[in-house]
Amino acid sequence: MSDTPFPAGTGADPGTAAGPDTSAGPDTVAAARALRAGGAVILPNPSPLTYVVTATTPRAVNDAKGRRAGQEVALWVHEDATWWSLATALDLEPAALRAAFTLLREQLVTLLVPVRAGAPAPPWTDPALRDGHLLLFGAQWTPVSTLLRSFPRLYVSSANRTGMPPADTAARATAMFGPGVPVVDADHLRCPGTPHAATTMLRMGTGGDLSHVRRGAQDRAHGADPDAYPAYLRATEPHRWRPFGQGSPAST
């Protein structure tokens, strides 16, 4: 792992799991147009993660999901500059700060990180604030990286309408959200036969201790005990964590 808390993240690679056709990237033109207009769009993640709904405003995300406007949504820190802008407001020791970045970029979890008292985070992070913690997501999947770079500040949530499971294919996302929400179809880069799930959610303490908040794709390979995945991460140095989606048990 790099000595700096802010290494250049690359995220999961679309060709690392067996099966996808990586010959052509997805069409993102309609999604870019919708994001510029303030609307929500559905974007893919690498298998075995499900699709996500994202927008430049939290209200657009919540409206698309059919839930109350003020419900918290995750901040998508896909840009290293966004992470830099948050670092001084996070109540994390240096080693924990580095581990948090690795969890976001390589494990692709959704992560709750504590905010430092007396050093408030920027106002645009307020929609991601939950009980003194910021809710963060940090995947950088290559097929949508160009689109993401055009929108450095995004809010994100699982691609599901309230009460329904997250969409694991573009067709299911389209059926769920309707024609008014563009879907970036990257199923040819994913593994349709693989069981998919939304991200595991973890909470990190100031010293880097981890606790489990929500079951998801990352902890599936670690059995039924929700504490098994955090225990694995605690027992293993961050530089030895197997990047999720790159030959990990959950991706096979």
239-245 average pLDDT score: 71
pTM of the model: 0.87
What phi, psi does 53 have (nearest 5°)?
-110, 135
CA distance 42 to 181: 7
CA distance 55 to 60: 6
21-29 average pLDDT score: 77
Strand-strand pairing, 201-204 and 110-114: parallel
CA distance 76 to 106: 14
CA angle 161, 25, 178 (to 5 degrees): 25
Residue 11 backbone class (left: φ over 0; alpha: ψ -120 to 50; beta: rest): left
What phi, psi does 97 have (nearest 5°)?
-60, -45
Does the pLDDT at position 3 exceed 70? no
CA distance 95 to 84: 15
Measured CA to CA in angstroms, residue 211 lies from 202, 215, 231 at distances of 6, 11, 9
Does the pLDDT at position 45 exceed 50? yes
Residue 241 confidence (pLDDT): 76
Residue 154, SS3?
strand
Cα 171 off chain centre by: 21
Pairwise pLDDT comparison (128 vs 120), residue with the higher score: 128
Q: How confident is the model at residue 23 (pLDDT cuts 50, 70, 90)?
A: low
110-138 average pLDDT score: 93
129-135 average pLDDT score: 94
Residue 245 confidence (pLDDT): 63
Question: What is the tens place of the pLDDT at every residue in 195-240?
Answer: 999 999 999 999 999 999 999 999 998 999 999 999 999 888 776 7
For residues 55 and 112, the answer to whether their CB atoms sit within 8 Å is no
CA distance 140 to 146: 10
Amino acid at 46: P
For residues 188 and 21, the answer to whether their CB atoms sit within 8 Å is yes
**9-18, 51-60, 70-79, 151-160: which range is least confident on average?**
9-18
